[in-house]
Amino acid sequence: MPSSSFSRFRSLRIWSTKDYAIAAFIFLLLFSFTFLSPFDSDSDSKFVSRSDLVPLTLLRNIANRTQPLCLDGSAPGYHFQNGFGSGSRNWLIHVEGGGWCNSVSSCSQRALTHLGSSKYMETSIPFTGILSSDPSQNPDFFNWNKVKIRYCDGASFAGHPENEKGSRLFFRGQIIWEAIMDELLSIGMSKAKQALLSGCSAGGLATLIHCDDFRQVLPKEATVKCLADAGFFLDEKDISGNRTMRSFYNDVVQLQGVANSLHKDCIAKMEPSKCLFPSEIGKNIKTPVFLVQPAYDFWQIRNILVPQGSDPRGYWKSCRLNIRNCNANMMNVLDRFRSSLVKTVKEFQQQKEIGTFINSCFIHCQTEMGVTWHSPNSPKINDKTIAESVADWFFDQESVNRIDCPYPCNPTCHNMESTLIG
């Protein structure tokens, strides 16, 4: 089946060594690939002008507390756009993604990029997709107060400074999170009537980690929910039989003291690295959650199912870059991975008020781009876009549990084609 559009990635080679691992794969949809769409009239650029760019705000020095710092010691930042009209007391917080670092070496490399230092962050960025102020692109949240939290700690805002140990790196993700929440509360979020915490990829994982904390800092009478986009990472064996992702998470947890940010009940029962997977995090979340997840997650296929090193003969090389190149045997493996995702999500859904939009697309994050969030050419399930599905769930218009049939059943999918080597 021909896909409706393709994307080409610009990124560093990943998984070439254990140290570099996922950290070197700087996967940010808005900044790491060019979206090549035949629907030019609906591309995000249509909505972006100089006046639409949202400036970067760096955190002020905070007295009487440990300073929130990026990996390199620079100040963390966020982009804020005021709400207006009926949305003036509503807040949408979106957490940037970008993988993790699991060693001093990989974190040091990350500290030389915008994922570890505000020195390299764009001074202004466009707000598109779920952050857009255009009602045609974002009909339900366009006039809300909107914030994009920049990601510069390498551990989904869950690291702790006691693990710094003179490494010249700052592991302060949890402190960054708390400081940004304090600042947003001080500029109006403390009076929120409705609030949605969302995030993409590692930012989606951060959303799940901090979802209940977010609920706690807001008014009791406020409607507060969370959305994880491509943040439901699986604890699955790769094609060589190894649990590469669990091993990687174990390194992240040990390096940055992440266990201190995970649920105590989980930590008491199993090794902390298992508690970093959403399947375990979800068992303790009390706040309503929505999952936007591609069943053939481009990132997870390349880094969990077929990481570098698991395929020494390069049998999977073309398939892992472009699902159209997968043969029947490979598709069987991918379909089993999809089945595992669906099964795990259904277990996650045993908690009430969980919404889902799981499409059959070969993609990663989908909420940040207007073309995949809400446009005439957006991916749909039951004739509903992601934006419409999220709105149905958030505003309690209906129960939302939309799970697509297997690839290539959905002609509305935006599938990706990568030119990455390996």
Q: Which of 27-36, 100-109, 372-381 has the lowest mean pLDDT?
A: 27-36
102 contacts 23 by C-beta, under 8 angstroms: yes
State how far the Cα of 387 lies from the Cα of 395, in Å rounded to an integer: 12
Q: What is the dihedral of CA 181, 183, 187, 190, to 10 degrees?
A: 40
| Dist. CA 105–CA 95, nearest whole Å | 25
Average predicted confidence (pLDDT) for the chain: 88
Of the candidates 49, 92, 6, the residue with the CA atom closest to the CA atom of residue 387: 92
422 within domain boundaries = no
Per-residue pLDDT at 1 exceeds 70: no
Question: Does residue 28 fall inside a structural domain?
Answer: yes
Residue 415 lies in a domain: no
Is 198 annotated as catalytic?
Answer: no
Token pair for 348: 């996650």
Query: Is 414 a member of any domain?
Result: no
Q: How confident is the model at residue 395 (pLDDT cuts 50, 70, 90)?
A: very high
Q: Which of 44, 72, 229, 297 does the annotation list as catalytic?
A: 297
**Residues 203, 232: Cα–Cα separation, whole Å:** 11
Residue 14 confidence class, pLDDT cut points 50, 70, 90: very low
199, pLDDT greater than 60: yes
Structure pTM?
Answer: 0.89
Question: What b/e string do you get for 275-286 counting C-beta neighbours within 10 Å, with b at 16 or more?
Answer: bbbbbbbbbebe
**What pLDDT, on a 0 to 100 scale, did the predictor assign at position 351?**
65
- The amino acid occupying position 360 is S
Domain span holding position 346: 6-403
Q: Given the DSSP bridges, would you call strands 33-36 and 6-9 parallel, antiparallel or unpaired? A: antiparallel
pLDDT range class, residue 35, cuts 50, 70, 90:
very low
CA angle centred on 238, ends 237 and 241, rounded to 5°: 70
Q: Does residue 37 have a pLDDT over 70?
A: no
Q: Is the residue at 282 inside a domain?
A: yes
Please give the full DSSP string across 74-132, using - where no structure is assigned. Answer: PPPEEEEE---GGGTTEEEEEE-------SHHHHHHHTTSTTT-GGGS-SEEE--GGG-
In a domain, 86, yes or no: yes
Q: What is the mean pLDDT of residues 372-379?
A: 96
Strand (E) or helix (H) holding 198: strand 194-200
Instruction: Catalytic residue, from 201, 375, 389, 418: name it.
Output: 201
Catalytic residue list contains 378: no
Q: Cβ(126)–Cβ(44) under 8 Å? A: yes
Pairing verdict, β 145-149 and 289-294: unpaired
Q: What is the CATH number of the domain that holds 103?
A: 3.40.50
Q: Exactly one of 94, 364, 374, 414 is catalytic; name it.
A: 364
Terminal C-alpha separation, the chain: 24
Integer CA distances (angstroms), 107 to 23, 117, 171, 307, 321, in order: 7, 11, 10, 20, 26
**Interacting residues of 222 by C-beta distance below 8 A, sequence separation 6+:** 192, 193, 194, 195
Query: For the chain, what percent of residues have pLDDT higher than 90?
Result: 81
61, pLDDT greater than 90: no
- Does residue 356 form part of some domain? yes
> Does residue 51 have a pLDDT over 50?
yes
Domain count, the chain: 1
Active site residue 132: no
* CB-based contacts of 328, cutoff 8 Å, min separation 6: none
Enter the DSSP assignment of 405.
Answer: P
Whether 261 has a pLDDT exceeding 90, the answer reads yes
- Is the CA virtual torsion 196, 79, 21, 295 positive or negative? positive
3-state helix, strand, coil in the chain (%, to 5): 35, 15, 50
3-class SS of residue 178: helix
Which phi and psi angles does 343 have, rounded to 5°? -60, -45
For the chain, state the CA radius of gyration: 20
Q: DSSP of 263-307, one letter per residue?
A: -HHHHHHS-HHHHTSHHHHTTT--S-EEEEEETT-HHHIIIIIS-
The first and second tokens of residue 175, run together, are 């402190």
Beta-strand relationship, 124-126 and 53-58? antiparallel
**Residue 419 resides in a domain:** no
